[in-house]
Structure 1
Amino acid sequence: MSEVIEYKSWVCLICGWVYNEQDGLPNEGIAPGTRFADIPADWRCPECDVGKEDFVVVEF
């Protein structure tokens, strides 16, 4: 039985833009499967330019 990898989604509290770990951001050099914690600390929201500290994990 293979291990199921659970990816998370992170939402910007300012503008509502969502980063999905499974999809990544290939246009910004962030490969699919990249965990939010592994994105560089100086990364900014592509929609409103706030930092990672303004994102929270989406809980379903």
Structure 2
Amino acid sequence: MSDYKLFQCVQCGFEYDEALGWPDEGIAPGTRWEDIPEDWSCPDCGRRSPTS
């Protein structure tokens, strides 16, 4: 079982999976939410704060 988490944007429902990262935005697979740059935001709506 993986200890990676899945985060969902509370505004639009976009999902960020730590195991998959978000390569289109320069976030490598395995990147933890706390390691994402502070200026990164949801690619769908621009919000920063998800819910896990």
Superposition TM-score, scaled by structure 2 size = 0.90
Cα RMSD, aligned residues only: 1.1
Q: 1:56 and 1:37 mapped to 2: Cα distance?
A: 13
Q: Deviations over 1:3-46 (max 9, x none)?
A: x6410000000001000000001111110000000001111100
Supply the distance in 2 between the matched residues of 1:12 and 1:31 (Cα, whole angstroms).
19
Runs of 4+ off more than 4 Å: none
How many pairs align? 52
Percent identity between the two aligned chains: 48
> What runs of 5+ residues in structure 2 fail to find an aligned partner?
none
- Which structure's CA Rg is the greater one? 1
Q: Which amino acid aligns with 2:40?
A: W
The answer for unaligned runs of 5 or more in structure 1 is none
Partner of 2:3: 6
Question: TM-score when scaled to structure 1?
Answer: 0.79
* Candidates 14, 18, 25, aligned match of 2:15: 18
Query: Are 2:36 and 1:33 aligned?
Result: no
